[in-house]
A and B are shown apart, each in its own frame.
Chain A
């Protein structure tokens, strides 16, 4: 292996909080050589971003404190340099891109101006900076670079903004590029493009690339080596293929085991009567058509997945179905009644039958209500379900069913982890004894292992309560393990639907095929094969 370019040795960082010091990372060491891609893999709270923040001098001291360790860049310890010297290195020699590009681009300046500024502040003459900016934009694949340089950040899509961030980071030809969850907020197809771009740029410039991610798929796609972190410590490191094929540490084994898309496919879709029938549902926002005539049915006891990229109309379908938004036209027949033509009284009664679990449990639970209040609210609204005397008992029972403890009832949502909060949200939905639960990206905000647990729970509850699910997701592997049937949506239309095996193994539409090809497999070998296929296609 080549001489390391950037090396972190025995780094420990402590954060001083009101509850006393918390050690965010302990004795972390890693190194990255020129032309190498290193991934730091970890779940939320594992401390995976902390060492990179230390490299970039982004840790606020106080409350953070680097208690021990060295960060060696080209033979010099960055922690011993003066603030001015570090500023020389940060951004210029070591650049960083973030998860959310919009918050890192200034909305009131054109993107061309912002890239130029990065160049001129580091000493490039103005006219040269102009030319360089255009060529950078071209390099990162922004169409029509000269016109684009005069546009503002909001005029670009999410993927293009990430490209702009990359252009800005590359402006000064850094030796090391640190990418903190660069593709987490993006659609799968865009994610694949951005990763390909990073890889290509890295080949061209020979820089070292450090990727921080929670996604095994990203590691498999791009990384040479991987460092696995858990609870502030490195539990395992090695080449990506080696770690995947032969994990040593129990944590890594669990993590790889929890990766979705590996389980058995549901092959026996229930052959029951459809309970919900959507016919030609349209939704317009002004001139914009979010839904262009969607029709599908949901059978009793079935899990129907709706997949698609952002803007495909999958969430709008859910919102219209639950009457959070009014459809422009169409019908939704439920037990012979049109959901869209109910009187307020009928709508109120129907609410009991169709419930929803939202994407982000942090936001879908009222922070000022206890778990008991949150769950029992269902019966306060629909008093006919349960007499008040039995509320306490039933809340305890529901908490047990979703895998929480009865004594949790008097705590507030913020006292739980993300996965536990989603369980509370599920308990709340169950309190109304619904027939159908719509899960809108219900597991996308959760870590892989927690995701697997919540899906297992949903599967278990389906049989226990005789539920039917409409499961909306952008993540295809999750759907593969869980759904009976899949609907693929694009730009407000259903492009393909069928049993899960057909969709995954014999997709008919190009769009579905692209979507499947772009989703990342946690196995580096599978990804390498796919990459080779892609390349051969491009050559052809």
Chain B
């Protein structure tokens, strides 16, 4: 096994970007996931700017227009909503807000949660006692209730929603990171670094963080969908994103009364949420393998086989 791996390891060094691209190409699912996410990202950035007018233009004659009907123009290919606005255009425009809220909340929660988790796991002082209690406090409070109270007091803007959703998701990262750090810090190679005199900063960033990053990223991708749906329930309660602003989650909840007569109102945004989450998940799965030197050969074999 060892011998085989050795002989198969590529000796020549290629440029970093091309290596990564070929590793990505080796996992076809991950490759298409990446392409899909790129499209979503483009929609999120360019959509509101290009299609804002189309997406908000009401056309009562096209109310709940069925999908796959080109007679009302290409924008209506996915059908129209309850006010006759083209769903395709709305989906593209909504990508902007959805991504901003979901990515913002997840990243913020990940950043704060894992930083606190690192401190709680690595320090042996009072912080190690206090920080996990903080997570307990947040977790013991129903997250939706917390969101309702905060958004009732503050005004429900995108920024505040990100903040509230981030706070409710912090404990997940905090606890996972802390548990992983507690385990990794006792590993022999961390002690070896200590014996060499490595400063705490180096031990954390060079030895501990790379080991726990894949776990955190995997949780983050799963959290992505959770946050999108949480945001939609806030919108449903009227304290989330306010119309005429739109998000996918809001579109799902707006389409709910029409589920029996016009399924496409909720279906398309729902599909967009699922595909985005799935893509993120596939990509994070690929990343876990690609970042791990002991696993990377799986992709390298594939890359060679497929060209």
Q: Is the CB of A324 within 8 A of B2?
A: no
Q: Is the CB of B298 within 8 A of A18?
A: yes
Cβ–Cβ < 8 Å partners of B191 in chain A: 324, 358, 364
The CA of A347 and the CA of B198, in the complex, are separated in Å by 11
- B157 CB to closest chain A CB, in angstroms? 41
The CA of A351 and the CA of B301, in the complex, are separated in Å by 42
Cβ–Cβ < 8 Å partners of A324 in chain B: 191, 194-195
Q: Is the CB of A366 within 8 A of B189?
A: yes
Q: Is the CB of B196 within 8 A of A378?
A: yes
Q: Is the CB of A360 within 8 A of B188?
A: yes
From the candidates B6, B196, B206, B292, name the one contacting A415 in the complex (CB within 8 A): B6
Interface residues of A in 505-523 (CB under 8 A from B): none
The proximity string for A residues 368-394 relative to B, scoring 1 for CB distances below 8 Å and 0 otherwise, is 111000000110111000000000000
The CA of A364 and the CA of B2, in the complex, are separated in Å by 18
Q: Is the CB of B294 within 8 A of A412?
A: yes
Cβ–Cβ < 8 Å partners of B11 in chain A: 407, 410
- A144 CB to closest chain B CB, in angstroms? 36
Cβ–Cβ < 8 Å partners of A377 in chain B: 193, 196, 198, 206
The proximity string for B residues 194-208 relative to A, scoring 1 for CB distances below 8 Å and 0 otherwise, is 111111001000110
Q: Is the CB of A414 within 8 A of B195?
A: no
The CA of A425 and the CA of B197, in the complex, are separated in Å by 16
Chain A interface size range? 35 or more
Q: If the complex has contacts A18-B301, A377-B193, A382-B197, are A416 and B2 also in contact, measured as CB distance less than 8 A?
A: yes
The CA of A348 and the CA of B187, in the complex, are separated in Å by 21
Does residue B192 face the partner (Cβ distance < 8 Å to A)?
A: yes
Does residue B9 face the partner (Cβ distance < 8 Å to A)?
A: yes
Does residue A411 face the partner (Cβ distance < 8 Å to B)?
A: yes
From the candidates B192, B199, B202, B292, name the one contacting A364 in the complex (CB within 8 A): B192
Q: Is the CB of B195 within 8 A of A355?
A: yes
The CA of A363 and the CA of B192, in the complex, are separated in Å by 10
Q: If the complex has contacts A414-B5, A415-B6, are A381 and B195 also in contact, measured as CB distance less than 8 A?
A: no
Cβ–Cβ < 8 Å partners of B4 in chain A: 19
The CA of A432 and the CA of B195, in the complex, are separated in Å by 11
Cβ–Cβ < 8 Å partners of A322 in chain B: 195
Does residue A53 face the partner (Cβ distance < 8 Å to B)?
A: no
Does residue B145 face the partner (Cβ distance < 8 Å to A)?
A: no
The proximity string for A residues 22-66 relative to B, scoring 1 for CB distances below 8 Å and 0 otherwise, is 100000000000000000000000000000000000000000000
- B230 CB to closest chain A CB, in angstroms? 34
The CA of A54 and the CA of B188, in the complex, are separated in Å by 35
- What is the predominant secondary structure among interface residues of chain B facing chain A? helix
Does residue B1 face the partner (Cβ distance < 8 Å to A)?
A: yes
Cβ–Cβ < 8 Å partners of B207 in chain A: 366
The CA of A416 and the CA of B8, in the complex, are separated in Å by 13
Closest to B2 in A: A417
Q: Is the CB of A414 within 8 A of B192?
A: no
- A437 CB to closest chain B CB, in angstroms? 10
Cβ–Cβ < 8 Å partners of A238 in chain B: none
Q: Is the CB of B197 within 8 A of A365?
A: no
- B1 CB to closest chain A CB, in angstroms? 7
Cβ–Cβ < 8 Å partners of B195 in chain A: 322, 324, 351, 355-356
- A411 CB to closest chain B CB, in angstroms? 6
The proximity string for B residues 3-35 relative to A, scoring 1 for CB distances below 8 Å and 0 otherwise, is 011101101010000000000000000000000
Does residue B73 face the partner (Cβ distance < 8 Å to A)?
A: no
Q: Is the CB of B1 within 8 A of A381?
A: no
Does residue B210 face the partner (Cβ distance < 8 Å to A)?
A: yes
Does residue A17 face the partner (Cβ distance < 8 Å to B)?
A: yes
Closest to A412 in B: B293
The CA of A322 and the CA of B198, in the complex, are separated in Å by 13
Cβ–Cβ < 8 Å partners of A400 in chain B: none
The CA of A415 and the CA of B1, in the complex, are separated in Å by 9
Closest to B13 in A: A410
Does residue B100 face the partner (Cβ distance < 8 Å to A)?
A: no
Does residue A125 face the partner (Cβ distance < 8 Å to B)?
A: no
Cβ–Cβ < 8 Å partners of A360 in chain B: 188
Q: Is the CB of B9 within 8 A of A415?
A: yes
Q: Is the CB of A358 within 8 A of B188?
A: yes
- B26 CB to closest chain A CB, in angstroms? 13
Does residue A143 face the partner (Cβ distance < 8 Å to B)?
A: no
Does residue A214 face the partner (Cβ distance < 8 Å to B)?
A: no
Chain B positions near chain A (C-beta within 8 angstroms): 1-2, 4-6, 8-9, 11, 13, 187-189, 191-199, 202, 206-207, 210-211, 291-294, 298, 301
Q: List 26 A-B contacts (CB under 8 A).
A: A17-B1, A18-B298, A19-B301, A324-B195, A351-B196, A355-B195, A356-B192, A358-B188, A359-B188, A360-B188, A363-B189, A364-B188, A364-B189, A368-B210, A368-B291, A368-B292, A381-B196, A381-B197, A381-B199, A410-B11, A410-B13, A412-B293, A412-B294, A414-B5, A416-B6, A417-B2
| Further pairs besides A356-B195, A364-B188, A368-B210: 5, Cβ < 8 Å | A324-B191, A351-B195, A414-B2, A416-B6, A428-B192
